[in-house]
A and B are shown apart, each in its own frame.
Chain A
């Protein structure tokens, strides 16, 4: 059996469950919403032009972009030391710690976000603790609450690729840097960080891209007060006033944006010339 034959099952799968649905979405996005909420088929770019209206630009879109960027940065800052520290343990400890990192995946995502809902309530102990410290911060129904939920949910996706990179890291390079007079800080920024770039980029993509389209976390923890693009799309399909053609246009626009981010990612990887 040639290796090309091995491609077929996957290709057929992609065609049936990716290409065809995207085609359907595209067709829907070119139609119009009928007054009764159903689709009036057609061929117009009206829905895409509507996306340029400030209504979509100002709020949800920038919220999504901003929260995705902030989540990515926070996951990187929190995840890097964790990944680094795990990578430097002995094999047995490494596996145990990695198990803890993926342990949350054993529980349904929705259940875990509900758990945060309880934790972040105004009558929950976190809010109480903050209040007793003199911080009257609204967590639930605020961007802060959504951000906490997003960082919580996506942190493992940052830690795992970072760990994979750092685990293979040749730490004699760090010794060489120290030997040549570099401080810990200098050897991190000049040697470790640049060489772990493939892991940083992979982690950033794995966090940024899905957060851009997230709707469960902002819906539950934002309580509808933190409009995000993903929430808007979901409402266009499942909300009380459905508008499938507009929702389809929004979904496709988001997909194109994500593709651009991914293209940049592969570009960056290619620039890591020393790999391979």
Chain B
């Protein structure tokens, strides 16, 4: 088995005047659950369609299982796609839908029947084989689409927002189920989604895409804790952005002046003295404390307070120009609008990011 299931080298694709995918390079490991995450129109679906063979890239190379496949027709690729709208054949029964790929391989009838039965069992649809797609619920149709794509045992399964059409509860269930399938079958899953929570929850690694480019690749924790760009920090979770200037450096540590405030920053790459810098700080990484506690804490005025059940969100004004959002679990513990509060955080949570003008 090759180390990489899918490799993209400098893949670009334009539609007319617009560049949809711009020089994307990715290497997806065998047996990995890899997600392409980004807002709609970021090029993630086009990238998936290039891998499936429905679009031909204008430049760059695509390798599937180590073999060049840039211009191989879709029917000859060892990848199957689960379509966003499922694309079940409406005139064929569930069994016939699942059997389709095996029939194209001209396998003996008995073997087809056996494998179809197993695939339906795998997605917990045994007993519904004789139904037509329109007689099934959305969740069941989704399972048929999965079984149909998995039954031919492709080395890579491509999934294009497969849970987008399902309601919240069912989506949660299917996320776990997909993860289970992927672990049991040890197939490479390449998952396209715009739902950051879904991507963080399911992926071994993910790539964040924006405007046809890959901004950052890494495991969920790295993407969340150490976003490389402002876009990533904002799209995945939420961030407060603080703009300042470096006034003192000492190795990996620097002191940044933000308006009237100062703070310590630790950075992987040393910051330069007098450099302008943008810092990202997640609302849930800020704790409220007593005002005027000194010791690197900041003090501000609660301007707004919203209780949303699992957490309470505060808008705290630190200076006429600077406000930050803080979220802390549970109810507000007696803090009211207009009250002065102190803010504190783990210095590791405050991260300088690349100012990416997108």
Q: Hey, which bits of chain A sit against chain B, CB under 8 A?
A: 170, 172-173, 175-183, 186, 190-191, 194-195, 272-274
| B75 cross-chain contacts in A, Cβ below 8 A | 178-183
C-alpha gap A271/B30 in the complex (Å): 46
C-alpha gap A181/B73 in the complex (Å): 10
| A177 cross-chain contacts in B, Cβ below 8 A | 89, 100
Determine how close the nearest CB of chain B comes to the CB of A220; give it in whole angstroms.
Answer: 43
The residue of chain B having its C-beta at the shortest distance from the C-beta of A174 within the complex is: B87
17 contacts between A and B (CB under 8 A): A170-B85, A170-B87, A172-B87, A173-B87, A175-B87, A178-B73, A178-B75, A179-B52, A180-B100, A180-B104, A181-B101, A181-B104, A182-B104, A190-B100, A195-B89, A195-B90, A272-B91
B54: interface (CB < 8 Å): yes
B148: interface (CB < 8 Å): yes
Closest 4 A/B residue pairs (Cβ): A180-B101, A181-B104, A176-B87, A274-B90
Pick from B54, B91, B133: contact of A175, CB under 8 Å: B54
Q: Are B74 and A178 in contact (CB under 8 A)?
A: yes
| B101 cross-chain contacts in A, Cβ below 8 A | 180-181
B134: interface (CB < 8 Å): yes
Determine how close the nearest CB of chain B comes to the CB of A20; give it in whole angstroms.
Answer: 43
Q: Are B73 and A274 in contact (CB under 8 A)?
A: no
The residue of chain A having its C-beta at the shortest distance from the C-beta of B160 within the complex is: A172
Q: Are B91 and A176 in contact (CB under 8 A)?
A: no
Q: Are A180 and B148 in contact (CB under 8 A)?
A: yes
| B229 cross-chain contacts in A, Cβ below 8 A | none
Q: Are A273 and B89 in contact (CB under 8 A)?
A: no
| B46 cross-chain contacts in A, Cβ below 8 A | none
Given contacts A186-B104, A191-B89, contact A179 B132 (CB under 8 A): no
* Known contacts A173-B89, A178-B53, A180-B104; 4 further A-B pairs (Cβ under 8 A): A177-B89, A178-B73, A179-B79, A181-B152
Determine how close the nearest CB of chain A comes to the CB of B119; give it in whole angstroms.
Answer: 13
| A274 cross-chain contacts in B, Cβ below 8 A | 90-91, 132-134
C-alpha gap A194/B100 in the complex (Å): 15
C-alpha gap A273/B83 in the complex (Å): 23
B18: interface (CB < 8 Å): no
C-alpha gap A194/B89 in the complex (Å): 10
Determine how close the nearest CB of chain B comes to the CB of A165; give it in whole angstroms.
Answer: 13
C-alpha gap A176/B83 in the complex (Å): 8
| B134 cross-chain contacts in A, Cβ below 8 A | 274
The residue of chain A having its C-beta at the shortest distance from the C-beta of B133 within the complex is: A274
| B111 cross-chain contacts in A, Cβ below 8 A | none
| B149 cross-chain contacts in A, Cβ below 8 A | 179-180
Interface size class, chain B: 20 to 34
List B131-172 residues whose CB lies under 8 Å from chain A.
Answer: 132-134, 148-149, 152
Q: Is the interface of A mostly helix, strand, loop or mixed?
A: helix
C-alpha gap A177/B74 in the complex (Å): 10
| B152 cross-chain contacts in A, Cβ below 8 A | 180-181
List B40-69 residues whose CB lies under 8 Å from chain A.
Answer: 52-54
- The interface centre, meaning the residue of A178, A183, A186 with most chain B CB atoms within 10 A of its CB, is A178
| A179 cross-chain contacts in B, Cβ below 8 A | 52-53, 74-75, 79-81, 149
| A273 cross-chain contacts in B, Cβ below 8 A | 132
Interface residues as binary, B95-116 with A (CB distance below 8 Å gives 1, 0 otherwise): 0000011001100000000000
C-alpha gap A225/B72 in the complex (Å): 57
Determine how close the nearest CB of chain B comes to the CB of A59; give it in whole angstroms.
Answer: 41
The residue of chain A having its C-beta at the shortest distance from the C-beta of B98 within the complex is: A180
The residue of chain B having its C-beta at the shortest distance from the C-beta of A186 within the complex is: B104
C-alpha gap A178/B54 in the complex (Å): 9
C-alpha gap A230/B104 in the complex (Å): 48
The residue of chain B having its C-beta at the shortest distance from the C-beta of A194 within the complex is: B91
Q: Are A175 and B74 in contact (CB under 8 A)?
A: yes
C-alpha gap A182/B149 in the complex (Å): 13
Q: Are A176 and B89 in contact (CB under 8 A)?
A: yes
The residue of chain B having its C-beta at the shortest distance from the C-beta of A275 within the complex is: B90
| A190 cross-chain contacts in B, Cβ below 8 A | 100
C-alpha gap A175/B89 in the complex (Å): 11
C-alpha gap A172/B100 in the complex (Å): 15
C-alpha gap A177/B79 in the complex (Å): 13
The residue of chain B having its C-beta at the shortest distance from the C-beta of A170 within the complex is: B87
The residue of chain B having its C-beta at the shortest distance from the C-beta of A273 within the complex is: B132
Determine how close the nearest CB of chain B comes to the CB of A224; give it in whole angstroms.
Answer: 47
C-alpha gap A259/B121 in the complex (Å): 48
Determine how close the nearest CB of chain A comes to the CB of B160; give it in whole angstroms.
Answer: 10
| B133 cross-chain contacts in A, Cβ below 8 A | 274
| B83 cross-chain contacts in A, Cβ below 8 A | 172, 175-176
Determine how close the nearest CB of chain B comes to the CB of A21; give it in whole angstroms.
Answer: 41
The residue of chain B having its C-beta at the shortest distance from the C-beta of A177 within the complex is: B100
Determine how close the nearest CB of chain B comes to the CB of A191; give it in whole angstroms.
Answer: 6
Determine how close the nearest CB of chain A comes to the CB of B43; give it in whole angstroms.
Answer: 18
| B105 cross-chain contacts in A, Cβ below 8 A | 181
| A172 cross-chain contacts in B, Cβ below 8 A | 83, 85, 87
List B307-350 residues whose CB lies under 8 Å from chain A.
Answer: none
C-alpha gap A172/B86 in the complex (Å): 9
The residue of chain B having its C-beta at the shortest distance from the C-beta of A171 within the complex is: B87
Determine how close the nearest CB of chain B comes to the CB of A99; give it in whole angstroms.
Answer: 25
| A180 cross-chain contacts in B, Cβ below 8 A | 75, 80, 100-101, 104, 148-149, 152
The residue of chain A having its C-beta at the shortest distance from the C-beta of B84 within the complex is: A172
C-alpha gap A177/B54 in the complex (Å): 12
Q: Are B90 and A176 in contact (CB under 8 A)?
A: no
Determine how close the nearest CB of chain B comes to the CB of A172; give it in whole angstroms.
Answer: 4
- The interface centre, meaning the residue of A176, A178, A182 with most chain B CB atoms within 10 A of its CB, is A176
C-alpha gap A194/B96 in the complex (Å): 14
C-alpha gap A272/B132 in the complex (Å): 12
C-alpha gap A191/B96 in the complex (Å): 12
| A175 cross-chain contacts in B, Cβ below 8 A | 52, 54, 74, 81, 83, 87
